[in-house]
């Protein structure tokens, strides 16, 4: 009896898992999942490295995303790699977890089997397959932390947005937000945004619509907001 090829290579089952965040119209954060007919629980977009298509891990991760939606990600980052012999009954498994931010999109860009699951109280509103609830929580922790010292909130917004929209991103993700004064000072002093000249009208004073300047690096600030500290 020849040894199990996995063990003889001293390797593990590898998958690349993706936590794709988006704001829903009803002011919640949600996560992209794949509902397979043969599975009880929806799962995160995930898959193996396909050597014919993927030159690097990012390729694999982006391919997972494109299988479920035609929209591109506005932000993309590796979270962590988890590996042990508990997660998968077949033995050692290893998962590289990425998270991405997406602009609010229309449902039509979703492909077959794709759906959104709301994030409620820091976790997915329903049970996901495998340890995917845990993976969402780890990505969410990163997101919660990083919006406090970076321009990440902008990547969850449409191409044109107001400063109040930025404040709203904080509220949705953290249930609290820094004061407008602080948001204005930070985001308007960092040479990241430019006035589009347009306004958003409502039954009140119209709000200035901004867009991000050119293809700028992800902006990092040198302080956290204290009002929203986790």
Burial readout 103-136 (b: 16 or more C-beta within 10 A, e: otherwise)? bebeeeebeeebebbebeeebbeeebbbbbbebb
Cross-strand bridge partners of residue 28: none
Q: Nearer Cβ to DNA, position 51 or 202?
A: 202
State the binding partner of 162 from a second copy, DNA, none, CB within 5 to 8 A by kind: DNA
Task: Confirm or reject binding of residue 12 to DNA (CB under 7 A).
Answer: no
Contact between residue 6 and residue 147 where contact means Cβ atoms under 8 Å apart: no
Count the site residues for DNA by CB under 7 A.
Answer: 28
Distance CA 100, CA 60 (A): 13
Q: How far is the CB of 141 from DNA (least distance, A)?
A: 19
Contact range with DNA by CB under 7 A, out of 4-12, 45-53, 129-137, 221-229:
221-229
Q: Nearer Cβ to a second copy, position 38 or 222?
A: 222
Task: Please list every residue from 117 through 176 that binds DNA, using CB under 7 A.
Answer: 162-164
Chain residues that interact with a second copy, rule: CB under 8 A? 5-7, 9-14, 48-51, 54-57, 60, 78, 80-86, 91-92, 94, 96, 222-224, 226, 229
* CB burial of residue 147 (10 Å; 0-12, 13-18, 19+): buried
User: One symbol per residue from 176 to 205: x for binding DNA (CB under 7 A), - otherwise; what is it?
Assistant: --xxxxx-xxx--x---------x-xxxxx
State the binding partner of 204 from a second copy, DNA, none, CB within 5 to 8 A by kind: DNA
State the binding partner of 51 from DNA, a second copy, none, CB within 5 to 8 A by kind: a second copy
Q: Is 216 left (phi over 0), alpha (psi -120 to 50) or beta?
A: beta
Distance CA 116, CA 92 (A): 30
Q: Which helix (DSSP H) or strand (DSSP E) does residue 13 occupy?
A: strand 13-23
| Residues lying near DNA in the complex (CB under 7 A) | 162-164, 178-182, 184-186, 189, 199, 201-208, 221-223, 225-228
């Amino acid at each position: 009896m020849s040894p199990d090829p996995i063990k003889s290579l001293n390797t593990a089952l590898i998958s690349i898992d993706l936590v794709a965040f988006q704001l829903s119209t009803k002011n919640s954060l949600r996560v992209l999942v794949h509902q397979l007919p043969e599975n009880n629980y929806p799962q995160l977009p995930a898959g193996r490295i396909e050597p014919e298509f993927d030159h690097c891990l990012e390729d694999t991760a982006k391919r997972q995303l494109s299988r479920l939606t035609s929209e591109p990600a506005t932000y993309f980052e590796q979270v962590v790699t988890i590996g042990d012999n508990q997660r998968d009954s077949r033995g050692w498994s290893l998962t590289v977890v990425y998270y991405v931010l997406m602009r609010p999109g229309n449902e039509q860009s979703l492909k077959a089997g794709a759906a959104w699951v709301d994030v409620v109280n820091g976790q997915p509103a329903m049970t996901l397959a495998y340890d995917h609830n845990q993976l969402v929580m780890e990505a969410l922790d990163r997101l919660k932390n990083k919006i406090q010292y970076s321009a990440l909130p902008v990547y969850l917004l449409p191409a044109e947005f107001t400063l109040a929209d930025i404040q709203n991103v904080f509220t949705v993700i953290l249930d609290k937000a820094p004061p407008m004064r602080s948001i204005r000072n930070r985001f308007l002093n960092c040479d990241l945004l430019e006035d589009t000249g347009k306004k958003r009208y409502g039954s009140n004073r119209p709000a200035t619509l901004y867009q991000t300047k050119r293809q700028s690096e992800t902006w990092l600030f040198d302080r956290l907001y204290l009002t929203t500290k986790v």
